[in-house]
């Protein structure tokens, strides 16, 4: 089991100096709004690639009182009884700020890759209670984060795809362009796009199998199936060559439209993720807020099982303000994550009493008194 043992913050968000020693299982951070509970979760989420679950600019993470304009996150991570020393900080070069991660005093790609292979972070944020009522982009991002938890190269694929779509738009703006050049770019877009489609379909297939497993364990839970809704492909049953021809043809036909609107009107960046409650075939967007929360918790449990059983990777689950709309089903699902899955969980809430259903299963931290 891998877990964060200690996290120390320096000049990070509202903290000038802060240290917390975490339990390997369940941790509850409680305190008033603005005390910094979410900031602690965010500091942990930054140890994965990217800008953390808030996706904020790195220079915004520095404490506004700081005169040196640099933050540090110092942490120790335990994996198979071995302690790994971590340092994460911001570096400023030519007025550009980037995040630097050091693993056991090394910033080499091999060291970071070694550390990244040990764990995956799953985040639950308050807005996820209405996941199936928000924009498709938020649902796509949610699924993409789950895929990244399994395949650490996936973010590079997404980034390359976005770059190619933007490059194509810049070519189209010239109006007079080399046809072979744009053909090459569109071929790249299609190859990367089909790879993204394939990874998304594959991951949903895995999640659906684990969702069925959860329903078998508890017949009172919803029987959920996740699907991709896309104008280009409803499924991937065709051969890759045929899919590529369809994709390329649609890109070529949409050039004039894409020039006016910008980007591309087709592709995996336009997909939506929908949930269906079986056997009624009721779309999850018809569910109440509490029911949607149950579905998201079921997805998180399925992702944890997938990581543990198929990938031998440790999930670390961050729950921000998780206590609203906690009916009996949602309480039982949180307990299942804590008791049955044996993963590190870190939860936040404004009052300790909100977590009374956990009894003595958690370690409590009053952030107001830190």
Domain tally, the chain: 2
Among the ranges given (41-50, 88-97, 229-238), the one the predictor scored with the smallest mean pLDDT: 229-238
Instruction: Supply the pLDDT for residue 214.
Output: 87
146 and 215 both lie in a single domain: yes
58 and 152 both lie in a single domain: no
Instruction: Supply the pLDDT for residue 233.
Output: 85
Instruction: Supply the pLDDT for residue 204.
Output: 96
Instruction: Supply the pLDDT for residue 82.
Output: 95
Instruction: Supply the pLDDT for residue 229.
Output: 95
Instruction: Supply the pLDDT for residue 157.
Output: 97
Each residue of 170-201: pLDDT tens digit? 999 987 888 899 999 999 999 999 999 999 99
What is the share, in percent, of the chain residues with pLDDT greater than 70?
99
77 and 103 both lie in a single domain: yes
**Domain boundaries, position 285:** 129-312
- Overall average pLDDT of the 70-92 stretch: 95
Instruction: Supply the pLDDT for residue 145.
Output: 96
**Which single residue is written with the structure tokens 């993720």?**
273
Does the pLDDT at position 128 exceed 80? yes
Q: Which residues contact 50 (CB under 8 A, 6 or more apart)?
A: 155
CATH number of domain containing 99:
3.40.50.300
Does the pLDDT at position 43 exceed 70? yes
Each residue of 320-338: pLDDT tens digit? 999 988 888 899 999 999 9
260 and 284 both lie in a single domain: yes
Instruction: Supply the pLDDT for residue 354.
Output: 93
> What 3-state DSSP class applies to 264?
coil
Residue that terminates a domain, selected from 269, 284, 312 = 312
Q: Which residues contact 10 (CB under 8 A, 6 or more apart)?
A: 16, 17, 71, 72, 73, 74
Residue that terminates a domain, selected from 273, 288, 312 = 312
Instruction: Supply the pLDDT for residue 24.
Output: 96
113 and 135 both lie in a single domain: no
Each residue of 135-152: pLDDT tens digit? 999 999 999 999 999 999
Does the pLDDT at position 370 exceed 70? no
Does the pLDDT at position 351 exceed 70? yes
141 and 276 both lie in a single domain: yes
Q: Which residues contact 48 (CB under 8 A, 6 or more apart)?
A: 116, 120, 121, 148
Among residues 144, 82, 146, 66, which one has the least CA distance to residue 114?
82
- Would you list the DSSP string of 125-174? -GGGGGGGGS-HHHHHHHHHHHHHHH-TTHHHHHHHHHHHHHHHHHHHHT
Instruction: Supply the pLDDT for residue 189.
Output: 98
175 and 152 both lie in a single domain: yes
305 and 336 both lie in a single domain: no
Q: Please tell me what DSSP assigns to residue 208.
A: H
89 and 139 both lie in a single domain: no
Angle between helices 289-305 and 179-217 (to 10 degrees): 100
Count how many Cα atoms sit within 13 Å of the Cα of residue 197 in the half-sphere of its side chain: 25
Q: How confident is the model at residue 289 (pLDDT cuts 50, 70, 90)?
A: very high
Please, are residues 277 and 222 in contact by the beta-carbon 8 Å criterion? yes
Q: Which residues contact 144 (CB under 8 A, 6 or more apart)?
A: 154, 155, 158, 200
- Mean pLDDT (the chain, rounded): 93
Integer CA distances (angstroms), 335 to 167, 291, 308, 329, in order:
48, 17, 17, 10
100 and 162 both lie in a single domain: no
In a domain, 124, yes or no: no
In a domain, 123, yes or no: no
Does the pLDDT at position 39 exceed 90? yes
């Amino acid at each position: 089991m891998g877990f964060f043992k200690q996290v120390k913050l320096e000049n990070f968000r509202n903290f000038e100096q802060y240290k917390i020693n975490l339990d390997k299982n369940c941790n509850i951070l409680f305190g008033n709004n603005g005390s910094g509970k979410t900031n602690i979760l965010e500091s942990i989420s930054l140890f994965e690639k990217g800008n953390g679950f808030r996706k904020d600019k790195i220079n915004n993470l520095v404490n506004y009182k700081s005169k040196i304009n640099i933050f540090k996150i110092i942490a120790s991570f335990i994996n198979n009884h071995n302690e790994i020393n971590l340092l994460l900080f911001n570096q400023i070069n030519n007025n550009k700020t980037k995040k630097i991660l050091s693993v056991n005093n090394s910033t080499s790609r091999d060291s970071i890759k070694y550390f990244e292979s040990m764990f995956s972070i799953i985040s639950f944020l308050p807005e996820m209670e209405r996941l199936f009522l928000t924009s498709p982009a938020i649902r796509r991002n949610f699924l993409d984060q789950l895929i990244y938890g399994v395949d650490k190269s996936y973010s590079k694929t997404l980034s390359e795809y976005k770059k190619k779509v933007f490059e194509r738009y810049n070519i189209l703006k010239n109006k007079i362009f080399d046809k072979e050049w744009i053909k090459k770019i569109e071929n790249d877009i299609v190859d990367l796009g089909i790879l993204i489609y394939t990874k998304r379909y594959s991951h949903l297939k895995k999640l659906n199998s684990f969702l069925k497993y959860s329903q078998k364990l508890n017949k009172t839970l919803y029987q959920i199936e996740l699907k991709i809704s896309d104008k280009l492909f409803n499924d991937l049953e065709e051969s890759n060559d045929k899919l590529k021809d369809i994709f390329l043809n649609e890109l070529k036909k949409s050039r004039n439209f894409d020039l006016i609107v910008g980007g591309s009107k087709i592709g995996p960046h336009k997909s939506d993720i929908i949930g269906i409650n079986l056997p009624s075939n009721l779309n999850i967007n018809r569910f109440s807020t509490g029911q949607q929360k149950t579905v998201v918790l079921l997805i998180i449990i399925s992702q944890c099982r997938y990581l543990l059983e198929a990938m031998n990777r440790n999930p670390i689950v961050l729950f921000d303000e998780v206590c609203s709309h906690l009916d009996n089903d949602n309480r039982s699902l949180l307990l299942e994550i804590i008791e049955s899955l044996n993963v590190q969980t870190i939860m936040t809430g404004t009052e300790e009493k909100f977590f009374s259903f956990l009894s003595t299963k958690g370690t409590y931290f009053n952030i107001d008194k830190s």
